[in-house]
């Protein structure tokens, strides 16, 4: 063997190793560099941003929800440092979130971190060598951009008050725009002291760190009949005046459906079936619709997708939860899915989106909590709603909305509920679950003749929807 051959092999291995290391460095610096620079576990990041005046977070009506206050001047340069304060407290904990070196970030604070720190804007270039040297020693103070949310403080605080100390959530969405007016849930936490209480909050059996409004996943119960009705009307497999017979129980070759009215509703139309929340009617309608059309309509309605709730913020960490559909919907599961039982899971946010879609003539809009961003320099900009997608026809949506109006009238399951001076369209729901009493649901649209707001409420283990969740809405 030539003496030069081993040397050539070693040289090639050396060059290959060098290229591998160079490629890895390039990947982490050029591809992942921006992400790692602001990663919550990057100590250098936290040392740097302590001197940044993080931008404020405001409600739509101007109420301050998060602000940065100077605390001291430290280090050789005696640079001022800032601490985050949350005037809104626990009422906004799951939407505004928190930022802290020990526990990281959450909510708007996490999703819009680069905007709030103004990291997307390059610092001004020094005009002289002296200025360059001084800026290297004492970087200029950086101020973040102001973020205005769509959350209405009056609506949010009313939702928090009405929910009280019952595990659950309230979501309110503006029908025409998809703007989220309230994201309330209980229990929550005080973001001003969340770092000190972190261990206790993690151990708490009520899970106060869970944002139930957009992360909680629940069986939908009878509120899903609104979806089944819209999908079936769209497919043309049923008409509002079609008749059915409910005897309290319906046995199929593959499954058995029980109605909450165990003695049966007797003969009733499809419209009456929604008003009385008849499981027999909706089991039959779901079977007529078929698993393929049921699933395709659910996917068109983004049931299994993560909504871009914090747009234009970064949600790569999956802040927002999503519902789930079974891998397949055979006949033995389809009937139960039609009236909201079975293996389907939804978030309260999605149920409010369902109401928004019905109230908006069948067009579903992406829900959003960010209304506008106001940079420290230059002019601000408001975020316009996306065009969304058409899930069902305006006619199908109109019929469903009218049927939901019957739910609130005499003979309907929510006839005892209502708002003085305002006609409301609604749907009650009681979702059986293996963890105790049924979850209580209510979906409301108001005013019924031209809805402006869709509200979804869930009360965990609250029982009948008209008794627990309905009064909250």
Residue 16, in any domain of the structure: no
328 CA to centre of own chain: 25
pLDDT score at 285: 97
Alpha carbon distance 259, 288 (integer Å): 18
Which sign does the torsion angle of CA 277, 420, 357, 57 carry? negative
Nearest 5°: CA angle at 216, between 148 and 112? 25
Q: Do 333 and 427 have their domain in common?
A: yes
The predicted structure's pLDDT at residue 336: 92
Can you point out the beta strands (E) in 28-132? 57-58, 64-74, 79-85, 98-100, 104-106
Q: Quick one: which of 395, 397, 451, 442 has its CA closest to 424?
A: 451
Give me the half-sphere count of Cα atoms (radius 13 Å) on the Cβ side of residue 458: 35
Question: Within a domain: residue 382?
Answer: yes
Contact in structure between 350 and 329 (CB atoms under 8 Å) = no
Please name which of 170, 193, 169, 198 lies closest in space to residue 86, comparing C-alpha atoms: 193
Q: From its phi and psi, is residue 360 left (phi > 0), alpha (psi between -120 and 50) or beta?
A: alpha
Give how many domains the chain has, as a whole number.
2
CATH number of the domain that residue 114 is part of: 3.90.1310.10
Same domain? For 161 and 137 the reply is: no
**pLDDT of amino acid 131:** 52
Domain annotation covers residue 34: no
Same domain, 112 and 157: no
Over the chain (473 residues), what is each successive 10-residue block's mean pLDDT?
Answer: 68 76 66 54 66 92 95 63 94 96 92 86 54 54 89 97 96 97 97 96 96 96 97 97 95 85 94 96 96 95 92 73 84 90 93 98 96 80 81 98 96 88 94 86 96 97 85 83
**Is 8 domain-assigned?**
no
What is the CATH number for 326?
Answer: 3.40.710.10
Evaluate whether residue 303 is within a structural domain.
yes
Is residue 2 domain-resident?
no
Residue 296's CB is within 10 A of a number of other CB atoms, namely 13
Claim to verify: residue 413 and residue 370 sit in the same structural domain = yes
Predicted pLDDT at 357: 98
Q: Report the DSSP pairing between strands 249-251 and 168-174.
A: unpaired
Residues 169 and 109 in one domain: no
Residues 6 or more apart whose CB falls under 8 angstroms from that of 290 comprise: 334
- Tokens of residue 117, six digits: 């720190």
* Structural domain boundaries, residue 172: 153-189+206-472
CA distance 359 to 126: 55
At 271 the three-state DSSP class reads: helix
- Whether 229 and 125 map to the same domain: the answer is no
Radius of gyration of the chain (CA): 27
The reported pLDDT for the residue numbered 315 is: 61
């Amino acid at each position: 063997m030539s003496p030069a051959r081993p040397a050539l092999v070693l040289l090639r291995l050396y060059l290959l190793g060098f290229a591998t290391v160079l490629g890895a460095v390039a990947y982490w610096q050029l591809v992942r560099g921006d992400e790692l620079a602001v990663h919550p576990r990057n100590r250098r990041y936290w040392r740097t941003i302590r001197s940044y005046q993080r931008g404020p977070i405001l409600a739509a009506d101007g109420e301050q929800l998060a602000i940065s206050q100077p605390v001291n001047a430290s280090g050789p340069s005696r640079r001022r440092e800032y601490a985050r304060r949350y005037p809104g407290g626990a009422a906004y904990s799951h939407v505004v979130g928190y930022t802290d070196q020990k526990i990281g970030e959450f909510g708007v604070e996490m999703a819009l971190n680069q905007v709030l720190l103004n990291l997307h804007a390059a610092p001004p270039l020094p005009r002289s060598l002296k200025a360059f040297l001084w800026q290297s020693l004492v970087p200029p103070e950086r101020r973040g951009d102001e973020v205005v949310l769509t959350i209405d403080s009056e609506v949010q605080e009313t939702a928090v008050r009405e929910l009280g100390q019952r595990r659950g959530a309230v979501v309110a969405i503006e029908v025409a725009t998809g703007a989220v007016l309230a994201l309330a849930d209980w229990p929550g936490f005080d973001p001003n002291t969340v770092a000190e209480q972190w261990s206790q909050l993690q151990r708490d059996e009520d899970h106060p760190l869970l944002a139930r409004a957009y992360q909680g996943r629940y069986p939908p119960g009878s509120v899903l009949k609104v979806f089944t009705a819209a999908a079936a009307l769209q497919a043309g497999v049923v008409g509002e005046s079609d008749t059915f017979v409910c005897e309290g129980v319906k046995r199929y070759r593959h499954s058995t459906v029980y109605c909450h009215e165990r003695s049966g509703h007797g003969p009733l139309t499809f419209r009456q079936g929604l008003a009385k929340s008849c499981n027999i009617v909706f089991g039959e309608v779901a079977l007529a619709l078929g698993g393929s059309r049921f699933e395709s309509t659910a996917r068109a309605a983004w049931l299994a997708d993560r909504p871009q709730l914090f747009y234009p913020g970064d949600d790569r960490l999956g802040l927002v939860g999503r519902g789930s559909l079974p891998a397949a919907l055979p006949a033995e599961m389809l009937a139960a899915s039609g009236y909201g039982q079975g293996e389907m899971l939804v978030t309260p946010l999605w149920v409010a989106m369902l109401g928004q879609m019905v109230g908006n003539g069948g067009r579903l809009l992406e829900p959003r909590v960010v209304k506008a961003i106001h940079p420290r320099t230059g002019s601000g900009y408001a975020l316009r709603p996306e065009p969304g997608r058409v899930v069902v026809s305006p006619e199908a949506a109109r019929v469903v909305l009218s049927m939901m109006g019957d739910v609130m009238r005499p003979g309907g399951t929510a006839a005892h509920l209502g708002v003085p001076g305002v006609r409301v369209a609604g749907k009650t729901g009681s979702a059986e679950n293996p963890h105790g009493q049924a979850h209580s649901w209510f979906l409301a649209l108001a005013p019924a003749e031209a809805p402006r707001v869709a509200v979804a409420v869930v009360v965990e283990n609250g029982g009948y929807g008209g008794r627990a969740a309905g009064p909250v809405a």
